[in-house]
Structure 1
Amino acid sequence: MSARPLKVVAVCGSLQLPSKSQALLDAIVEELGEKLDITTTSISLTDLAPTLAGSLSRSTVGPQLETALREIESAELLVVVSPVYRAAFSGLFKHLFDLVDQRALEGTPVLLAATGGSERHSLILEHHLRPLFSFFQAVTLPLGVYGVESDFVDYRIASDSLRERVERVVERAVPLIRHIHPEVTERAEHPASV
């Protein structure tokens, strides 16, 4: 089997730009790109929100939303970041995944991340995001990353601790991703560890 890049689909659940969630998503994707050969498609809820809210079923979605859904469904690695809205992800974030084919993500690795005002909401990863993707029978990677308000300045990561957590999450994810997709090219300075 010939080596090839990994198809990463990065989904930002924020309803505003710029956002801390987008900054965290960008940092995770950048770190992944340092370890693996990847191609990345970015999907932002801010772009989809106007048509997403009025799409009651898959048969009623417009072309932009259909393209985004197909990208999610064909991901080899899904990276998902959501801000905390009233102790959970937003209704529009959930609605986006309500429109994803129920079987499309079976076996797909998913790296989970979130941002919130304080540490009190860090369990969004375990109590909301992990169960959502478990429903799809996706492979939620064991470690997620959560960033708080104080980790960011002007919508950029300003905390060494958050940068280290991003590095650790990706470092732990790479062997599992390589196990699922052994054909994916790893960067030369990071030899395969599986």
Structure 2
Amino acid sequence: MKLVVVSAGLSQPSSTRLLADRLTAATTRHAGTGVDVEVEVVELRDLATEIAQHLVTGFPPARLAAALDAVAGAHGLIAVTPVFSGSYSGLFKSFFDVLDKDALTGKPVLIGATGGTARHSLVTEHALRPLFSYLRALVLPTAVYAASEDWGEEGLAARITRAGAELARFMAPEGEAAPAKGTASAKGTAPAEGTAPDTDTAAAIAPRSLTGAITSVDPAGGFEVVPFEQQLAALKVG
């Protein structure tokens, strides 16, 4: 499986890159025994000039083209941005502006952001989630925001672990589960070592089989998908 990480941090060292690295570590840790996860990190700081050139010429330079191809070919994406003026950074937005409009369709995306204060914690919901939903990505339920005071807190570590477990589960190849080591499968029972998950479990986990909204994800107990028709019927009743 290929995991691509997009980090829009501008400084070195960067808290944005630190959060991206921790989310990456949590994802690979939950990928499952024997699952090879290839990780590629795209540092937008290094591509700022190429992104600007692409915006005005319509043609991506070689390094940017390689980064765009990596994102399009990934099985999963981690996207982390610093918060500027209450939203994602211009560099972050510009990168996804030049990405092919179909590159993220159906792709699981874990979103994260960093900021100096907890007052920006909803940026993942009012800015990042709508952006990736517009690009038709499969945006995971758990988004991770880290304010300056959050580093070292147990709450941040728990959110990172939960988010990584979700992404690992959705990145699993069709027909294969990716439970965390020592946790149960999507049906609540861990499969025996060396055996494949049953067809019901595979169908529940395979990203391409999802046709509804993801309402909850539990690393130990799988996730729940409510069909759109059922949601619509509930709204009409209400």
Question: Alpha carbon RMSD of aligned pairs, Å?
Answer: 2.1
2:161 matched residue in structure 1: 167
Is 1:13 the counterpart of 2:12? The answer is no
Q: How far did residue 51 of structure 1 move?
A: 1.8
4+ residue runs over 6 A deviation: none
2:212 matched residue in structure 1: none
Q: Secondary structure at the match of 1:56?
A: helix
Question: Kindly tell me: are residues 57 and 99 of structure 1, through their superposed partners in 2, closer, same or farther at Cα, counting changes over 3 Å?
Answer: farther
Unaligned runs of 5+ in 2: 187-200, 202-238
Q: Which amino acid aligns with 1:61?
A: P
Q: Secondary structure at the match of 2:110?
A: strand
> Is the 1:175–1:192 contact (alpha carbons within 8 Å) kept by the matching residues of 2?
no
Counterpart of 1:33 (choices 28, 32, 36) is 28
TM-score scaled by length of structure 2: 0.70
Question: Kindly tell me: are residues 121 and 185 of structure 1, through their superposed partners in 2, closer, same or farther at Cα, counting changes over 3 Å?
Answer: closer
Larger radius of gyration: 2
Q: Deviations over 1:57-104 (max 9, x none)?
A: 674211000000101111110001111011111111111101111011
Q: Deviations over 1:117-176 (max 9, x none)?
A: 111111111111111111111100011111001123xxxxx2222111111222344444
2:147 matched residue in structure 1: 148
1:83 matched residue in structure 2: 82
State how far apart, in whole Å, the 2-side matches of 1:119 and 1:96 are.
26
> Is the 1:35–1:190 contact (alpha carbons within 8 Å) kept by the matching residues of 2?
no
TM-score scaled by length of structure 1: 0.85
Percent identity between the aligned chains? Answer: 34
Show the 5 A alignment for 1:89-108: 89-108=88-107
Q: Secondary structure at the match of 2:70?
A: helix
**Alignment length (residue pairs):** 183
State how far apart, in whole Å, the 2-side matches of 1:119 and 1:126 are.
14
2:227 matched residue in structure 1: none
Q: Which has the bigger relative contact order, CA under 8 A and spacing at least 6?
A: 1
Q: Secondary structure at the match of 2:79?
A: strand
Q: How far did residue 186 of structure 1 move?
A: 5.8
State how far apart, in whole Å, the 1-side matches of 2:27 and 2:88 are.
24
Q: How far did residue 17 of structure 1 move?
A: 1.9
